[in-house]
Structure formats: structure tokens, C-alpha cells
Amino acid sequence: MINVALMGHGVVGSGVAEILLGHKADIAKKAKEEICLKTILDLRDFEELPYRDLFTKDFASILQDDSIRVVVEVMGGVTFAYEYVKACLLAGKSVVTSNKELVAAKGHELLQIAEEKNVNFLFEASVGGGIPVLRPMAQCLSANRISEVVGILNGTTNFILTKMVTENMPFAQALSLAQKLGYAEKDPTADIEGHDSCRKICILAALAFGRHVYPEQVSTEGISTLSLTDVEYADRFNCVIKLIGRAKQTDGEHITADVYPALINRSFILSGVHDVFNAIVVRGDCVGDVMFYGRGAGKMPTASAVVADVIDCVKHLTARKYLYWEEGAPDYVVSTRSSQTRLYVRATNGHPASAAVAIAKAFGDDSIFTIKNNSSQEIVFITPPGQESALRQKIAGLTCLHDPVILRVID
Amino acid sequence: MINVALMGHGVVGSGVAEILLGHKADIAKKAKEEICLKTILDLRDFEELPYRDLFTKDFASILQDDSIRVVVEVMGGVTFAYEYVKACLLAGKSVVTSNKELVAAKGHELLQIAEEKNVNFLFEASVGGGIPVLRPMAQCLSANRISEVVGILNGTTNFILTKMVTENMPFAQALSLAQKLGYAEKDPTADIEGHDSCRKICILAALAFGRHVYPEQVSTEGISTLSLTDVEYADRFNCVIKLIGRAKQTDGEHITADVYPALINRSFILSGVHDVFNAIVVRGDCVGDVMFYGRGAGKMPTASAVVADVIDCVKHLTARKYLYWEEGAPDYVVSTRSSQTRLYVRATNGHPASAAVAIAKAFGDDSIFTIKNNSSQEIVFITPPGQESALRQKIAGLTCLHDPVILRVID
């Protein structure tokens, strides 16, 4: 029998407790060992729960209990989570977490301690909720050189964008619907400004390319300024707008890592991922594109991923060897503006016809672009592929375009 | 350093050799151990290859070489593959295979020998080619009770169906195009009659539900009799026709396991999987639907999955604990006709209007059905949900329907 402690009894934590206590026999069969939830750390009282006797407010009682071999951290945040997780690993306990903020900020350091102590630090639930992605990427795709990871990493923003695309619902209304349905927090900043996606692309990039990526290194744009107008034009170009996280190897020594709303061509499988679903595409040199799809958040999906990691810990009480990455470096992440892309541009102009001539001159007569005019004298086009910074320079040079909205296109 | 032997130097085998020899440094880093391809078994001569010295025609030289710890079997077929794989496992060597026919026929027995000998028998590449699915299903979803596995498991038939749907190409023409492009064999029987999908659903079902499923227990229909007419009608019902493999838990003691062409509603993510791509949806009680997507066949995707298993073997030279299932049982797989479904029906009738009255009477006034007539006086409708055998009985009772074509609908 292996004793487990749970730190945090919020949404995910209560789901973990539910599965560990409710599926006990099934889990014992899979782990080939009985797993006993011994202690739950939370500052709140849960007098109504049948398992109220398991609660403690004292972290030291977990740390000092040598019978506890695996600790689950689902408190969130970095301050206490970091201190407690580090202490547990140093004490020779394996740790499982769903805390993307912690892994994105301190992943390398904690993995290194885990390796030194020959215990596990697992965090499958930190990216994609219940979708298996980190372990398959590290294990099953290990014979591939991964060149790119791109995904829809946040269910809240994908729900909002789906409503905007399919029902023409303005952003503010879609956000308040998401809040009503429990998909968005009261303070939705982390989701809609892309911070949540940023942490997840940090973790994916670190695992794919072997070096820590810090959130501060990732250029991050959210969706709060997206207008229905762009959503509608995207549709005319056979694209949908999605908030994506993307990391690409550039020259073997550097990567790009960014979060931004982009036009996704409908021929690309990611364009079909709707509502609160997440999906991650991994591009390998042998396998081509592989996609992992499912519910990226929610109590039970996330909790089930945490418990799967606990089962894996119990099966392998010494360090699993597939998860590791090196320390980050200040110049490791480079700007995506040196990469090739196409750009979507929307601007206003009093004289669309003459602007069209200027655009054609800038991007070549045979360039792929379309101009649509409406009563507001808007000009909309997609550039041919080119280096992003050069394309932007050309667009800036077109003084006929007023206040252009510029979005990247992914084919 | 770990020595590896390769049995079979066909399409996948030559890909395995290419990766093991060409990515040597990368692989050593990932496996934390150098992996040396020592011997290749093949009856043919490959004098032009730079690694021609590795070839042998003598299986005994592999079996008796104690320095060979991992053997890759990519010969295909069951006769020799079974004999050789069994001998290798009994000799204490781990075995990696992509041979779905072997795993579907002998998986339980070989897994049992591997467990007794404390070595690995891994076969990630046998389902979905390079798509990670078996390991994620067994490891990452281990906290879930899986209720259903359904997938597009064969790239050749999916390519043919995509051509039929998007380009209105008749079956025979789409097949010959697939052959021309190298997606279909000269003798395409195993693909188009569903045998290949059948072996894969056997393996998925065994892993998902814990008991061996034999190909003879799976009712298997192919796509060779599908007509363009049905493809077109499917589209009018907002569906696409796909060849699927599907296994479902019924009562905890039994499962259904079937291969058949079905109408897939466009709102279901599987409907968007086109061309040679494969995708597998796994339904868990905690996680909901998770989908794994990618190229399901081809030299390099499949070879990369084989090599990933080799790396896993080298990292864990004693038995990995996640792959196992019990012996099968004669009455374990039950007919899907007791399950709930909707049925698509197309039939001819000289008097569509009176037939419509009979259909409405049989399936209720408010039942979901649509009738389309064309010059050939065809009647097409979709029944409301019901037990399949009862629905079929009702349809058989409608004597006004001549030679009905009946297909299942998946929503």
C-alpha cells in the first residue's frame, strides 16, 4: 500500500479525492498496489464531507510523514506551491501537479531536484487538462525530431471565439455567456489575455525542444481586442480565427514561442476544434502532424490526468526517465518576426480603388490577395508568404492604409 | 550499449534501420544508452546497401546471440512471426513489433510470456502507425473507465471514401487512384474488406477493456459495395460515410466489437478526418472524448513508432507494466444489434408517397426522417434511435421497401 497526500481541495483537488476514494479497487488493479489517500491539506473546513477526517492545515505533517511517498499539488499559484513542492521533492517524495504556472516558472529546477533525489515530478494535467499530450510527446514520438508544436490551449477563449464565429456574438456577450456557464472566471484576464496559453506553450516547448522557456520570453497577445468584423472576413478567406500557442525550432539553437490570435485555414485540422475543446498538433520529422484532442479543462478531466500520474508514480517509485529539460537561456527564444508567414490586413481608406493599386504594387501583381469593400470603405487582404518583419515593413510603408489590423495566417 | 536485431527489411523495416543508423546520437541521448543495430534478418540480398554486412538469413544467429536484448519484428504475417517472436521472448529478449495480425491473433499469449520472462512486448506501431494511442490509452487514461473506442483505422479506405465524398469519384476509380499513389496494395482485399481495421479494433478493445478479442469475434464489413448514391444522400443528412472500427462495453462483462461503414454526423470530430489520416476516439468516464489523430500508415511514421518502442525497451529492460490483457472468451463479444443506434435506409419503390405513409406509421409521426425522391423513385430516411434489431425488424416488415441498403448512423 502506498500513501498519498493531496495539497489543495478546490475544483481539481476535490475531483482527485473523488477518484482516489471512489475508484479505489480499479486503481489498485491498475497500479498493482493499493493507493491510500492519507492526508488532505487545505486551510478551509469541509465538515460536511464523509472524508473530513483526512484534512489538515499543517504542511509539516505531510512533509514529516515518511509513509507518504507521493504528494499531489493542486493548490495553484507559485509562492506556496513552489515552496511545498520543492520541500517534498527534497524529502524524497514524488510530486504530481496540474499547476501550469508552477511548471512554467520553475519546471527545470524542480525536475533537476527530482532527478537528483531519484523521484518523480509529473505534470501531465498542466497542459490540455485530461488530454494525454506530454507523455506521448516525450515517449511515443521519441524517435522524431520535433520541429513545431502548435495548439489551441485554452478552452475559455476557444468557446468565446466559437460563439463569435458561429453565432456572430460580440466578444463581450460571448465572454459573459462563458462566465455564466462556468467556463470563464469572474476575472477572466489570465484566459483572454493569453497568459494561460502562454504557460502551456512554455511547458510544451520545453519538453519538445529540451530547454526551459520562461513565460516572460513568450510574446503574448490575447483576444480581447478582436472584432466581429475580422471574424467575418476570416470566413470569406476560408479561415477561422483561433487563439493559438506556437513554438518552432529555428536553427537548432533557438526557437520561437508565441501566443496570438491567428487565421487558421480550414484545411488545417486545428480549424475544426470548437467550443471548450483543446487540441495540440506536434510536427515530427518522421511522423508528420499528430494531433491530440479533448477537453482541456474541467474538474474530472483534469483530476483523471492527475490520478493517472499518481498511478504511474506508484508503478515506478524511482524517477521516470522521459521527462527532463535543460535550464533556459536569455537569448534562446527569438522573435517570430524573422519567420515566414502570411499576414491578414484590414484597414480603412477613403479611396479603396487607389489603395488597391498601391497594395498590388507592394505585394506583386500575382500576389495572393483579395480586397473587399463595404460601406465603411474597408480594405482587407492577405499577403503572399514572406518574412514577417519584411511584410510588416511593407504594410507600414503603405500610408494609404489607416490603422491597419494585422493578424498572422496559418495554412 | 544495447544490441538490437531487426527481423524483416521491407518498407517499415528499412525505415527502422534508417532511423536507428541515421539518428544514432539523438537516440542515444534519449535512451541514455547507445543503441546498436547488430543484425538484420531477411531472406533477400541487399548488396547495394551501405549496411549490407548486417544481414543474415539465419534466425538462430539472433536467437542464440545473448548480446541482443531487443528484437524488432516487422516481417508481417503470423506463421514465422509468431514462432520467432515467441522464441525471442522465451529466450529473455524484449520484442517490438508493428505486426497487427500477430498481436490480434496472439497478443494475450505473447504478453503472458513477456510478463513471465520479465521482458517487454511492445506494439505501439500496430495501431495508427505513428500516432501515439496504445501507450496514452493505457497510461494517461488509466484513471478512467473506458466505455467506448471508435476510430478511422485504415488510411487506404479513408482515402477512397474522401475521394468519393469530395470529388464524387466512383469506388473503383478511387481505388485505382489509391493504388497508383501507393496507398493501396495490388491486392487491396485486407484494406477494403475491413480486415485491417478488424485487427486494429481487436487490439484497441483488448487494451481498453482488458480481455483478448479475436478477429473471428468481430463482425466485419468493408466498403466495396458502397455506392456514390449513399455518399450523396449522407451529405444531405449532414453526415459523411467513413469505415469505422468500434468497440463498446455493454454490461461490464461483455463488449461489442465491429467494423462497418457508417454515416458520421458532421458535429462529431471523426467526420473531419480525411485522406490517409487515421483518428481514434477514446471515451472515458472522467475525461469524456479524447482523440488521437495522424498518419496511420507509411514507412517513416510507422518506423518512428517502432523505434520509440525500442527506446522505451532500452530505458526499461525489465517488463513495462502498462500493457497487459487477459485471455479471451467465446461469449465475450456480443452482437451490436442489441445496442441503441439510428439507421439510414435507402430503398426503391414505385409509389414513394404511399411508402412514406407506411414509414411514418412504423417509426412514429414525430420520428426524425426525411424522404427524398428522384427519378429512380428512391426513398431515403433515417430512423429515430432504437435497438438495432428492433429497427431492422420494423424495416423488414415494410414490404413496400425493395432491396433496402441499411447503414448505421453515429451522432
Provide the 10 A C-beta neighbour count for residue A82.
Answer: 18
Strands B255-265 and B219-220: parallel
Chain B residues with CB under 8 Å of A143 CB are 19, 23, 27, 303-308, 310-311
Q: Under DSSP, is residue B162 helix (H, G, I), strand (E, B) or coil?
A: helix
Answer yes or no: is pLDDT of A352 > 70. yes
Write down the ipTM of this complex. 0.92
A290 to B290: CB separation less than 8 angstroms, yes or no? no
Question: In Å, how far is A346's CA from the nearest CA of chain B?
Answer: 30
Mutate one of A4, A27, A118, A144 to test the B interface: name it (highest B CB count within 10 A): A144
Contact B178, B184 (CB under 8 A): yes
* Phi, psi angles (nearest 5°) of residue B289: -85, 130
Chain B residues with CB under 8 Å of A33 CB are none
Q: Which residues of A are catalytic?
A: 200
d(CA A336, CA A389): 9
Closest by alpha carbon to A278, among A358, A138, A161? Answer: A161
Grid coordinates belonging to B354:
404511399
Chain A residues with CB under 8 Å of B141 CB are 130, 132, 304, 308
Mutate one of B144, B283, B289 to test the A interface: name it (highest A CB count within 10 A): B144
Grid coordinates belonging to B52:
549490407
Chain B residues with CB under 8 Å of A294 CB are 287-291
Mean pLDDT taken over chain A = 92
With cut-offs at 50, 70 and 90, classify the pLDDT of residue A358. Answer: confident
Specify which residues A7 forms β-bridges with.
A41, A73
Question: In Å, how far is B32's CA from the nearest CA of chain A?
Answer: 9
Percentage, residues of chain A above pLDDT 70: 96
Check residue B319 and give its pLDDT: 67
Answer yes or no: is pLDDT of A366 > 90. no
Check residue B41 and give its pLDDT: 98
Q: Which of A250-254, A342-346, A358-362, A386-390 has the lowest mean pLDDT?
A: A358-362
Check residue A379 and give its pLDDT: 83
With cut-offs at 50, 70 and 90, classify the pLDDT of residue A142. Answer: confident
Question: In Å, how far is B144's CA from the nearest CA of chain A?
Answer: 7
Check residue A205 and give its pLDDT: 98
Question: To 5 degrees, how large is the angle CA A195–CA A201–CA A205?
Answer: 150
Residue B106 appears among annotated catalytic residues = no
Question: To 5 degrees, how large is the angle CA A331–CA A332–CA A336?
Answer: 95
Per-residue pLDDT tens over the stretch A183-225: 888 899 999 999 999 999 999 999 999 999 999 999 999 999 8
Q: Which helix (H) or strand (E) holds A189?
A: helix A189-192
Q: Which of A82-91, A133-142, B118-127 has the lowest mean pLDDT?
A: A133-142
d(CA B27, CA B49): 22
Answer yes or no: is pLDDT of A315 > 60. yes
Percentage, residues of chain B above pLDDT 90: 79
d(CA B378, CA B59): 60
Mutate one of A27, A264, A290, A325 to test the B interface: name it (highest B CB count within 10 A): A290
Contact B304, A143 (CB under 8 A): yes
Question: In Å, how far is A148's CA from the nearest CA of chain B?
Answer: 15
Per-residue pLDDT tens over the stretch A259-284: 999 999 998 999 999 999 999 999 99
> Which residue has 479603396 as its cell numbers?
A352
With cut-offs at 50, 70 and 90, classify the pLDDT of residue A159. Answer: very high
d(CA A25, CA A19): 11
**Facing B144 at nearest CB: one of A32, A136, A304:** A304
Chain A residues with CB under 8 Å of B277 CB are 269
Mean pLDDT of the region A24-49: 94
Closest by alpha carbon to B302, among B97, B144, B139, B115? Answer: B97
Walking along chain B (411 residues) 10 residues at a time, the average pLDDT comes out as 96 96 92 95 95 97 97 96 98 97 97 94 95 93 94 96 94 94 90 97 97 97 92 91 97 95 94 94 95 92 95 83 88 95 88 81 69 68 94 92 93 88
Per-residue pLDDT tens over the stretch A57-66: 999 999 999 9
